[in-house]
Amino acid sequence: MTHQKVLVLDFGGQYNQLIARRVRDAGVYCEVKSYKTPLDDIRAFDPVGIIFTGGPNSVYLDGAPTVDAGIFSLGVPVLGICYGAQLMANLLGGHVSSAGVKEYGKTPADMDTTSPLFDGLPQSSVVWMSHTDFIDRLPEGFHAICTTASCPTAAMGDEDRGLYAVQFHPEVLHTEYGKQILLNFLVKACGCKRDWSMESYAVSAVRELKEKIGDKKVLLALSGGVDSSVAARLLSKACGKNLYCVFVDHGFMRKNEGDEIEAAFRSDEMNFIRVDAADRFLAKLSGVAEPETKRKLIGEEFIRVFEEEAKKIGKVDFLAQGTIYPDVIESGLGDAAVIKSHHNVGGLPDVVEFTDIVEPLRLLFKDEVRALGRELGLPDYLVNRQPFPGPGLAIRIIGEITKDKLDILRDADAIFREEIAKNGLNTEIHQYFAVLTSMRSVGVMGDFRTYDYTLALRAVTTTDFMTADWAKIPYEVLERVSERIVNEVSGINRIVYDITTKPPATIEWE
């Protein structure tokens, strides 16, 4: 790629993905790499700016993460955030100590608005602090450009060398002018042209895929999720009829979803293969109630079905995967915590023989994938598809799965989603769905006693899906949803609403 590049060096902080997303949102391409990246590799990456992330360590302890101090001699502007700020001070001759007063959360700060970092901002605003150490002696050439009541060096700068450090977190929304601070660093310190967009990425990605794939065959497992759908459309533009998309319909999709996926992708432009495996998956899960066992059985059976279909196609040169950038980051960079290991990161799967692998979305965040999907002309119902677990409704049914339970849940879930959309709440609520519990209770309908299932409704608002709050759906909407489900769906006589945050709960029930 010919875009200007910013390098984010990861020191294990919890907001590191968010830093990279904010940079991308500003129209600047960036990548996250381990702090262990050799100086020669950093030089070869040719960044126009470097950002040190936060991290959980103290710079003055033995074994604390560090970098080659030669990084400050590359002539590239550097911004240190939290731990990154303290590391910059420590490496350049300043001093860091344990703070007498710790600062956490929203904190009023006074800024020197003559500094390029705070240009155009008010002199006083709120920042988000999270530290137990502080810079008690500035390195030579630096001066304090921000203070708080308890922190004399909430930010420091050396404008001549383009070196800046902030003790707070500009990447989080709780810092009032955080986005502007990052933009000031990118534009005023680094001279970024802001040349990163999904329009330009689509053009360059198609060109590069054509060069790599040529006239060879590509196989993609198409789930209908955002990532695999966008990957399919992008690959279709690059290799047309040489793309084989296998959609394994395990029977656990939402109402009409399998047909919608087929309608979007069955065309003359690619080979779309829909495998109706609902009976096969149901038989595999017969009598199984434990959620983790469900997940493993579904995953294993999916591989078996996919393997059978791949062999029917014959020799395939490339396996395509919808791996996205958070998958790569969350699978561990250097000493960064492994949040979760992703099945599509780390090597070729042992499904069938492939020459190589293609991952056209590997450098993109989820919001960028959605933007790329729009750029490629995918319908809104696919681009805006909510997160949906791979096992589908199988883990939204508590206990054993049967066809009757799936039909009940599909109809109830469809009503809930329909009413949310009808009342214009679908843009405010980030995920919403129904869960069929294993609990049955006594009810009365007409003059008759019933003993039917309890259905739980779950709706959350979130910015990152790492934490979530339950959505405050208006009572009249919940009332309408309850009335419709009880009257229109046989087998349900009680509706409950989940008002638990994440944590302590997860978003899904299983």
Question: Active site residue: 82, 151, 190, 192, which one?
Answer: 82
Strand partners, 452: 441
Query: Which amino acid, one-letter code, is at 240?
Result: G
71-77: long-range contacts, CB 8 A cutoff, minimum separation 24: 71/39, 71/42, 72/161, 72/163, 74/42, 74/43, 76/47, 76/48, 76/49, 76/50, 76/162, 76/190, 77/48, 77/49, 77/50, 77/162, 77/163, 77/164, 77/185, 77/189, 77/190
Q: Give how far Cα 50 sits from Cα of 186, 250, 326, 489, Å.
A: 10, 45, 20, 56
3-state DSSP helix/strand/coil % of the chain, to nearest 5: 35, 25, 40
> Is the separation of the CB atoms in 349 and 319 below 8 Å?
yes
Amino acid, single-letter form, for residue 176: E
Residue 234's nearest CA partner among 372, 326, 383 is: 372
Instruction: Report whether 192 contacts 152 (CB < 8 A).
Output: no
Q: Does residue 169 carry a catalytic annotation? A: yes
CA distance 496 to 417: 16
Roughly how many angstroms between the first and final C-alpha of the chain, as a whole number? 41
Distance CA 95, CA 60 (A): 9
Q: Which residue of the set 103, 159, 171, 301 is catalytic?
A: 171
CA distance 478 to 484: 10
- Cβ burial of 160 (10 Å; 0-12, 13-18, 19+) is exposed
Q: Determine if residue 212 is left, alpha or beta; phi over 0 gives left, psi from -120 to 50 gives alpha, anything else beta.
A: alpha
Q: Which whole-number Å values give the CA distances from 73 to 39, 151, 161, in the listed order? A: 11, 28, 9
304's CB contacts (< 8 A; 6+ apart) are none
82 is catalytic: yes
Write the CB contacts of 175 (distance below 8 Å, at least 6 apart in sequence): 126, 127, 128, 168, 169, 181
Report phi then psi at 155, rounded to 5: -160, 150
Residue from 3, 30, 159, 169 carrying the catalytic annotation? 169
In the structure encoding, which two tokens stand for residue 2, read together?
């010919």
Measured between alpha carbons, how far is 245 from 236 in angstroms, rounded to an integer?
A: 10
Q: How far apart are CA 229 and CA 224, in angstroms?
A: 6
Q: Which residues are catalytic?
A: 82, 169, 171
